Structures are given as structure tokens and as C-alpha cells.
Homo-oligomer: A and B are copies of this chain.
Amino acid sequence: MIGLVVTGKPSFPPALAARLAKLGVATVHEAMGRVGLMHPHLRPIYDGPGIAGPAVTILAPPGDNWMLHVAIEQCSPGDVVVLACLSDNNDGMFGDLLATSMKARGVAGLIIDAGCRDTAALRDMAFPVWSKAVHARGTVKASLGSVNVPVVCAGIVVYPGDAVIADNDGVVVIPNRQAETAAVRGEERARLEEAKRLRLAAGELGLDLYGMRRKLEEMGLRYVESLDEGR
């Protein structure tokens, strides 16, 4: 699947993207059974609000950013570009010119399992990037990759159109058809957590709130006054 650009991809409602961005990575990840979370080596290049949107995927050779140019043509407003590398690479594949072009297309942000540069300019223009490294090292345009094929990015399979949510906690991916479910479940979880937050803030203990004491006792947890007593 090298040398292929798939031009069609599933639709994704903008309002759904907004709901997922508001929920954030940790809540969506938990609500969907703790799957789809990318490796934590991906970090935002600056502090800023989270994003969510449907994936445009890129498979790129190491040290070669040609496919980024190809991918931009396939982007629609609200898309999140997800770049996976054919081999480990930290080169600065992405900078302010590509970001300018993506912004002109309405792209919401970039997830890149490689390096990024021009980070000060990217922050100034408010184009969010999650990358494996900040590195000024330039790349070539010499070999083909693919656009909008399924990729494995930072350990997670991403199909074009999958929901990508990214914030300061990392990046999570939800299959396109489960995105609505993720928002519903996430909002339910957020509501439940808000209720718990109030009780915890008031001083109630998680041991009591979650009813953990009995199970801990059954498993043999012992309370002693001093270490010597515990021996």
C-alpha cells in the first residue's frame, strides 16, 4: 500500500468533533474501555486547547515529507492529519509553511510520529501539533508513501475518518462509526465524575465513595500502627 492516495473518506459531523474535544482524551479513553490511546512519546509542542476531528492519514518514509504536500489536497475543514513513519524518525518533517497551507485548508491540527520544527511560529499562528520530537533537521522529497490508507501511528491503528482527540494528556483514536457512542458515553462519564468530584472535594474518601474497604480487607490488606508491628 505504498504509492496510493485514497480520495474518499467517511463523513464526520463538526458538532461531534466539538463534543469530543470538550470531553478530552482521558475521559473518552476511559469511556470507550481504555483502547485507542497512542504512545505517550507524542507530546504537544505548546500548551493550548485540545482538538478533535476526523483523521486524514499519511504513511511517510523516514526523513521524507513529500506525502504531507500530497495529503493537504485531501484535507477538509476540521480534519486532523495523522502521520505515521515507515521507520523510527525524528526529523523535522513539518514546519510553518506546511502549517500555513493546512490552516488555509481549515485543518484542526497534526499528529506526527516524527519531528516538528518552527515551533515558535506554529504557536504564534495557533496551529497545534503533537509530535515525537522538536527538531530543525530538514527532510527530502524523494520517495513515495501513501495518503488515507490505514496506518499504525504511535502504536494505534488509524483509518481515514476515525475520530482523533488530542490534548495535553495525549492522543486517542476512536473508529469513525463509534465516535457518536464515544461522545455519549464520555458525556455520561463526565456527569458521573462531576458528581464524584463534588463529594471528594467535600472530604468524602474514595474508599467509601467507591465502597472499596471490604474488597481490600478480603484481599488481605492489613492496617498496623508501625512497621515493626507489620513484620
Contacts and interface: CB of A to CB of B under 8 A. Distances in A.
Contacts of A35: 1-2
Contacts of A134: 40, 43, 168-170
A124 to B, nearest CB: 11
B205 A72 contact: yes
A34 B5 CA distance: 18
A169 to B, nearest CB: 4
B143 A95 contact: no
A69 to B, nearest CB: 4
A226 B159 CA distance: 12
Nearest to A86: B34
Interface stretch (A14-22, A179-187, A217-225): A217-225
A167 to B, nearest CB: 7
B89 A89 contact: yes
A186 B184 CA distance: 49
A105 to B, nearest CB: 8
Interface size class on chain A is: 35 or more
A169 B63 contact: no
A29 to B, nearest CB: 5
B149 A156 contact: no
Contact of A26 (B95, B196, B202): B95
A157 interface: yes
A87 interface: yes
Contacts of A98: 206
A210 B72 CA distance: 14
Interface string A172-212: 10000000000000000000010011001111011100101
Contacts of A73: 205, 207
A224 B148 CA distance: 10
A227 B149 contact: yes
B226 A29 contact: no
A61 to B, nearest CB: 6
- The 6 A-B pairs with the shortest beta carbon distances in the complex, nearest first, are A142-B142, A69-B206, A40-B135, A136-B169, A101-B200, A26-B136
Given A26-B117, A104-B202, 10 more contacts: A6-B224, A40-B133, A69-B205, A70-B212, A88-B89, A97-B206, A120-B169, A140-B143, A148-B227, A150-B227
